[in-house]
Amino acid sequence: MSETVNLPALGESVTEGTVTRWLKNVGDHVEVDEPLLEVSTDKVDTEIPSPVAGVLEEILAEEDDTIDVGAPLAKIGDGSGAAGSSAPSEEAKSEDADEGSSEETSDSSGEDASAEASEESAEPEESTPVQEPEPAAKSDAAVSERSAEPAQPSAPAASSSEPVDVTGNAGYVTPLVRKLANQHGVDLSDVTGTGVGGRIRKEDVLAAASPSRSDEPSRPAGAVSELRGTTQPMSRLRKVAAEQAVASSQATAQVTAVVEADVTRVVEIIAGDSGASSFLPYLAHAAVQALQQHPVLNAAVDGDQIIYPASENLSIAVETDRGMLSPVIKDAGSLDVSGLDRAISELAERTRSNSLTPDELSGGTFTVATSEERGTLIETPVVFLPQSAALSAGAVVKRPVITTVDGADAIAIRSVVYLSLSYDQRIIDSSDASHFLSTVVEFLES
């Protein structure tokens, strides 16, 4: 008996998923909770574990297939059905061919049988290696082809134009990674995978290929990306993000306001190891305090209604190798700076390790981002529906600033940062945005 594995519910708002990669092949043994495949949704990429132990007998959803929640993915059993699901037609064809060949031989005339026997006896002579090297190589290939067993159709035959597939102990390798390795002459058995379960990703192949390109002329500075001159398909995550960005921009009236804040005191606290480890938790805390005073920045539009949430759920922009993702800190108003620092660090780590649940990427009411690690001075964030505003902080830099000392103007070296607020002017006026930013600056400077 076999059990059907269905696509489980991946979150309240997730209704479908796209199979991006199978981690097991038909005939492989799997344990309970062992990852079977990777699925991409409009929220997050995640692994689907096996609900039972057994042998993967049949794959019902191929890579790049988009299926609904609850739809069948595979069948797992005791292994008795694995062979039938992996290559029943080929084995049946082989048996039918053998039976047909026997019948034809018995019904044929003695002359035909004699001719057939003559041809069969002549083949070994043709394939016998001779002293000329090239014909011998061709004959050896012919012998190998005729002696191949038909019971192994699951391994696709390599075309003559493709390099020999060298995977060694690399395990499952996606077609994209395999093609990339062949293009750059990378032996996958020598590559250490950094993906889930040690699997090899395209970044691992590119990293292994870069040192070997010693034949290229030296360049003055930096490294040239391997993507230069190539065409790559958009990931599902990238396509969904693009669709949401365009839809949000078309459905809202977005404008951006920019102010400058003196965050010298915050920088001193961070340097003194008495507070959070970065500027972002202080920005998040200041934003939450300002949202509680100016709730329209935390609101959402529903038809001709304005919804004011009872809590501040902060979406925190996190940079990953799959693109920007925004996990959500629920009820951020209940946390102080230290609590926000811990929550941000934990969410960022799990976001980059692809271990978030889809629900942790939904429900945000306001977005906070910072480019302090990238060095950008000013960024104008995009507001994603259903949110109405997003706040971005540029890099914190030291600059000479005119300040007041004992009632007189003076020039001092201060740590300053630009704050950019994008907002939906359908419900947020410029005065609302200005008051909100003034409150944020007041909290940061004090």
Tens digit of pLDDT for each residue in 190-218?
888 886 567 787 778 888 886 544 444 44
- The identity of residue 413, as a single letter, is I
Identify the band that residue 105 occupies on the pLDDT scale cut at 50, 70 and 90: very low
| Least confident stretch, 134-143, 215-224, 302-311 | 134-143
CA distance 230 to 151: 38
- For helices 337-352 and 280-293, the axis angle rounded to 10 degrees is 120
Q: Which helix (H) or strand (E) holds 142?
A: helix 133-147
Non-local (6+) Cβ contacts of 168 within 8 A are 187, 188, 189, 190
Is the per-residue pLDDT at 10 higher than 70? yes
The pLDDT score that the predictor gives to residue 227 is: 85
- What pLDDT digit, counting tens, does each position of 407-430 carry? 899 999 999 999 999 999 999 999
Is the per-residue pLDDT at 266 higher than 50? yes
- % helix / strand / coil in the chain, to the nearest 5? 35, 25, 40
| Least confident stretch, 125-134, 295-304, 348-357 | 125-134
Q: Beginning with the edge strand found earlier in the chain, give each strand of the sheet holding 3-6 in spatial order.
A: 3-6, 72-77, 54-59, 29-30
Identify the band that residue 222 occupies on the pLDDT scale cut at 50, 70 and 90: low
The pLDDT score that the predictor gives to residue 189 is: 85
Q: Which helix (H) or strand (E) holds 431?
A: helix 430-445
- The identity of residue 356, as a single letter, is L
Between 35 and 10, whose confidence is greater?
35
Runs of H (alpha helix) within 252-336: 264-271, 280-293
Average pLDDT, the chain: 79
Is the per-residue pLDDT at 182 higher than 90? no
> Helix (H, G, I), strand (E, B), or coil: what is residue 245?
helix
The average pLDDT across 321-339 equals 91
The average pLDDT across 43-58 equals 87
Between 13 and 235, whose confidence is greater?
235
| Strand intervals (E) in 297-396 | 300-302, 305-307, 314-316, 318-320, 323-325, 328-329, 366-370, 389-393
Using DSSP bridges, classify how beta strands 389-393 and 366-370 pair: parallel, antiparallel or unpaired. Answer: parallel
The average pLDDT across 138-142 equals 42
Which residue bears the tokens 């972002």?
A: 280
* 54, 3 Cβ separation under 8 angstroms: yes
Burial class (CB in 10 A: 0-12, 13-18, 19+), 246: exposed
The pLDDT score that the predictor gives to residue 377 is: 94
Identify the band that residue 232 occupies on the pLDDT scale cut at 50, 70 and 90: confident
| Least confident stretch, 183-187, 325-329, 343-347, 433-437 | 183-187
* 300, 417 Cβ separation under 8 angstroms: no
Dihedrals phi, psi of 36, to nearest 5 degrees: -95, -45
Torsion sign over Cα 263, 265, 268, 274: negative
Between 224 and 339, whose confidence is greater?
339
Is the per-residue pLDDT at 326 higher than 50? yes
Is the per-residue pLDDT at 119 higher than 80? no
> Across the strands, what pairs with 404?
409
CA distance 227 to 295: 44
Is the per-residue pLDDT at 97 higher than 50? no
Between 437 and 350, whose confidence is greater?
437
Between 136 and 247, whose confidence is greater?
247
Non-local (6+) Cβ contacts of 228 within 8 A are none
